[in-house]
Amino acid sequence: MALAHVLGVPRIGPNRELKQAQEAFWRGAIDEAALQAVASGIRQANWQRQHAAGLDWVTVGDFAFYDQMLNHVALLGCAPQRFGFGRKLDLSQYFQLARGNAACHAMEMTKWFDTNYHYLVPELKPDTPFALGAEWLFDEVAEAQTAGFKPKPVLIGPLSFLYLAKEKTPGFNRLDLLERLLPVYAQILARLKAMGVEWVQIDEPILALDLSAEWRSAFERVYHSLNAAGVKLLLASYFGPLRENLLVALKLPVAGIHVDCVRGADELAQVIDWLPATRVLSVGVIDGRNIWKTDLAAVLDRFEGLHARLGDRLWLAPSCSLLHVPVSLAHENRLDPELKNWLAGADEKIAALSTLKTAFNAGRPSVAAALADNAAALAARRHSSRVHDAAVAERLHALTATHDTRNSGFAVRQAAQRARFRLPAFPTTTIGSFPQTADIRSARARFKQGELSEADYTAAMQQAIRFAVERQDALGLDVLVHGEAERNDMVEYFGEQLAGFAFSQNGWVQSYGSRCVKPPIIYGDVSRPHAMTVAWTRYAQSLTGKPMKGMLTGPVTILQWSFVRDDQPRATTALQIALAIRDEVVDLETAGIGIIQIDEPAYREGLPLRQADWAHYLDWASRAFRISASGVADATQIHTHMCYSEFNDILPAIAAMDADVITIETSRSDMELLRGFGAFHYPNEIGPGVYDIHSPRVPPVSEMTRLLEKAARVIAPENLWVNPDCGLKTRGWPETEAALENMVAAARALRQRNGNGGGGQAVIAV
């Protein structure tokens, strides 16, 4: 008899209840008890849905108030020592780790593997203590048991925890902390067993990565140690195939192993060959990363023989946690019915899992109607006329080598741009967005609901743009932006205006903390029916004599932050988007906009997890960017922005993008991320972020100046720009103005220190 479970589910609530409660708590509108009540309600509802679907366990420990890695920092009692907190964090301290406080900047944040989810990076030193800290996991297990559910707690494994952390002491190997960490994991497992827990899911997603021999060899001793706790361990790997780590995983003394049969489909035969005779095999057969329905008949065809062989040792599951898909499509009443029938959120994927379990155990006739509906939806998608556009295919076929090359090399372009703009040394700018006030959000919502005329909506957005431009002028910024008042999201805004995209009403997915995004759905060939940003940018430029940046989202980021069609290579879809963005870039230049930013914050995120697969991705990703950017003259300056990723291992590919200026997030790492650009001798201009926009903290001028001085020691000062880490959409105006005032003051201090007050980005010494 096949069993079924999930590795995790969305924790935001069907209507983003957690986000609303978090933000209310942060601003003091509700107390902790009210926040905890919302959290408990979300957990109870999640468990009830799993139980009602006939899953054999409810997953506990996948809930987090901010992030699962931060939860483990609290659980393991290893909060960064610079905060001065004790071993057992309270909720206020937990949030301070994520958001910073008056004395300390927030913990560094980076992408969770190749997803758009961000995790908080543990900070480790040789003397980092580990001890059982927050009791939240045990409380949630007890909560599930009290409610009558059978819990399967989930932990991030000790090796993945250490691997995904960062050393904060030069020359220190964080793997040296393993012997200090393992006893705490053993204590956690013993506590769970004493509570009556039978199975613990222990996630080791780093098994999908290229691991050194040192890290691979650590697995055996770790799991021999943890196995002694006596609770059954389900070792879970996901996001890719195991490859050379396959035998390492299958030889471990655990009771079961979960493998990703969506991304690691080709190695299932090897897994079966090496699976020990008594080992449970959990197969991830439903895509936990994308929104398309699963071909249930294909899953049954593929796994029925294995079920006959393994019986109740075969567990059915999604490929990974369902954290990465929307909660449900139940209330999506505006989606085209045909398109909606092709899709599945977390609830629908759990229902599909239930159908598969029943089909395996009771035979296909027992779920014949569900299987027929599934087959009909898949056939409708395959044969739909709305998916393919012959004109798009012809344009792709006509691409030549010159489509991804600027007219001149960077040195020639740089000279033309400096002659055109005459900017001072350390020119100041922002990344693009300014605070989305309640008035802006209200006007946009009323316009979408038909309560505000187009003329009145345009006037409201122009008023917000005028305010943003006036504030930037008053602050003394050198290159301005229009503030993006009209944009709901940096990807959704463009997708709404491109052919081949569809949108949900409530398809929210957590990106980090209380930040949620609503990814577009790319279901067909992509093209640009009309200009998307030109009128807003032209209006903003009319308000000032300073350069106004055109703000666009790049093809790779639009691809990465969407639910992408799975019926053609991602590279093909990226090139389609690139041509659409290229048309917008050319139209902006024609409208007199001389600086155009094509943001690619997801460029590193799209990198395959295995280095052997990098070259192919980097080739088509950098080409897609260059195609989007190469239709303009030398004197038009192309910017790009990247954030919250490790860049050093792909710097040649970033240089190959050939943007005139790149801005990157560096403040949380104290400019650590910039060192690689210096060692690589990055050839073009660069703007390292000098303050963290995800924290309400306003850094003093001295702190920003120190960071700029540090940057100028590794990057030629004449090539340095000054900017925040990222856009300012989520901040309020008072803190935004205070921070930007300090940022401008820091730039001016460096100019004065070096005797350069403006006029052409003169070479200076720091």
Residues annotated as catalytic (active site), given as ranges: 694
Q: Output the 3-class SS for 742-760.
A: HHHHHHHHHHHHCCCCCCC
Closest CA to 131 of 177, 65, 198, 196: 177
Please answer whether residues 48 and 343 qualify as being in contact, where contact means their C-beta atoms are separated by less than 8 angstroms.
no
Instruction: Count CA atoms closer than 13 A to 641's CA, side-chain side.
Output: 25
Residue with the two structure tokens 């070259």: 615
Three-state DSSP at 415 gives: helix
* Sheet of strand 256-260, all strands in order from the earlier edge strand to the far edge: 3-4, 314-318, 280-286, 256-260, 232-236, 199-203, 151-156, 58-60
Contact 200, 153 (CB under 8 A): yes
C-alpha separations of 112 from 99, 173, 237, 241 in Å: 18, 21, 14, 17
Question: What letter does residue 591 receive in the DSSP assignment?
Answer: T
Instruction: Dihedral sign for Cα 707, 710, 714, 720, please.
Output: positive
Of 514, 513, 621, 619, residue with least CA distance to 557: 621
CA distance 686 to 675: 12
Q: Write the CB contacts of 512 (distance below 8 Å, at least 6 apart in sequence).
A: 66, 67, 109, 117, 118, 119, 694
**Contact between residue 652 and residue 126 where contact means Cβ atoms under 8 Å apart:** no
Q: 501 with 556: CB under 8 angstroms?
A: no
- C-alpha angle with apex 225: 220 to 227, nearest 5 degrees? 95
**For the chain, how long is the longest CA-to-CA vector?**
82
CA-nearest of 637, 636, 697 to 668 is 697
Structure tokens at 71: 């939860």
Task: Extract the tokens encoding 405.
Answer: 């090359």
Grouping H, G, I as helix, E, B as strand and the rest as coil, residue 577 is helix
H or E stretch covering 18: helix 17-26
**Pair 130, 161: CB distance under 8 Å:** no
What does the buried/exposed string (b/e) look like for 47-79 if buried means 16 or more CB atoms within 10 Å of the residue's CB? Answer: bebbbebbbbbbbbbbbbbbbbbbbbbbbbbbb
Residues 6 or more apart whose CB falls under 8 angstroms from that of 118 comprise: 67, 109, 110, 111, 112, 511, 512, 644
E strands, 483-636, are 499-502, 509-512, 515-517, 521-527, 549-553, 595-599
Beta bridge partners of 58: 151
What is the Cα–Cα distance from 461 to 465, expressed in whole angstroms?
6
Token pair of 344 as six digits: 């599945």
| Rg for the chain, CA atoms, rounded | 26
- What are the CA-CA distances from residue 391 to residues 166, 196, 256, 387, 713 (Å)? 49, 62, 51, 12, 50
DSSP state for residue 14 in the 8-state scheme? T
Tokens 């009692």 sit at which residue? 77
Query: Strand, helix or coil at 599?
Result: strand
Q: Which tokens hold the place of 388?
A: 């393919």
